[in-house]
Structure 1
Amino acid sequence: MNDLLSCALELQHLAHELMYLGMDGAPIYSDDFSRLNKDVLIKSDSLFLSKGLNIEEEANLCLALLMGYNATIYDNGDKEQKKQVVLDRISDVLKQLPASLLKVRLLTYCYGEVYEESMVQEAHAVIDSWDKTILTIEQKEIIEGLRNIEDNPYPFEEI
């Protein structure tokens, strides 16, 4: 595994940890919360200008960046612009990426940003092709995540 992919996967892990901090019932300490937020922003910013060597590496990098910028509470004033750049990159990636767990993860996280119906339909088409009797933990997690976004659209918006 190369350095860029390792960094992208590490950012995905940290962003996931930050997004679900305290969900296991463990207490959340402000210094840990602050440190993790800062780490996620620094790693996101350090990877922002990087490009993957192939479509899967680019997909993992884009997923990591979107997760990172969504997870952190910190913003140097350009977080929304960076998220839009990442979303544009993901749009190009999705056209080339074969049906896979990675594609469903990208579609799910993008759908949570833009609520474009075609994304959720494509994600469900891939999920429907999976053997439901032998789903991996990651597949189960993304199915649940997609269901949560569909059931609770626009969670931070006033409608």
Structure 2
Amino acid sequence: MKSQIDALRQLTHELLYLGMDGEPIYADRFHQLNSEVYSQAEALYGENTENDEEEATLCITLLKAYSATIYNHGDKEEKVQELLNRSWEVLGKLPDSLLKCQLLVACYGETLDEELAEYAHKIMSGWDGLLTAEQQNVSDELQNVENDSYLHANTEL
């Protein structure tokens, strides 16, 4: 299952960052990536994992995939809610770690629950020295979600 999760993570990343390198976005590639991400997410959604770490990784990947794709066969919100429920279950079992921080940030991106962001910041505060690429990525992702949630909060006034 790890290879399937990794493949979906890679495709989702490509979809999320399509065009960010200055290259033009072609409709056929955009459509293809959306279709592939949605199809792979649907295939992995019902899979059972072997341990808490794999469950956390699957939840992170699926939350990002469903968020990235434009497709919805009428049940995406229900699936995202179920993934959030699965995430809540596994969060309590994980030690404070990069993986737990990634899951907190993925859940925060869906719920904007400030407690999740605060906990992620608490974990990050324990990272000393130079950050690894993965630590920097999750830190940047949290900052982006916080900035976006701030903008949404101020436009609703």
**Cα deviation, residue 51, structure 1:** 1.7
The amino acid across from 1:102 in the alignment is L
SS of residue matched to 1:134? coil
Q: 1:155 to 1:72 in 2, by over 3 A?
A: farther
Alignment partner of 1:91 is 2:88: yes
Q: TM-score, normalised by structure 2?
A: 0.93
**Cα deviation, residue 9, structure 1:** 1.8
Aligned partners of 2:101, 2:15: CA distance in 1, in Å?
21
Q: 1:154 to 1:78 in 2, by over 3 A?
A: farther
Q: How many correspondences in the alignment?
A: 155
Identity of aligned residues (%): 45
Give unmatched runs, 5+ long, in structure 1. none
Q: Equivalent residues in 2 for 1:52-71 (5 A)?
A: 52-71=49-68
Q: TM-score, normalised by structure 1?
A: 0.92
**Cα deviation, residue 98, structure 1:** 1.3
Give unmatched runs, 5+ long, in structure 2. none
Aligned partners of 1:96, 1:37: CA distance in 2, in Å?
33
The amino acid across from 1:112 in the alignment is G
Alignment partner of 1:33 is 2:30: yes
**Cα deviation, residue 134, structure 1:** 2.3
Residue in structure 2 matched with residue 144 of structure 1 by the alignment = 140
The amino acid across from 2:144 in the alignment is N
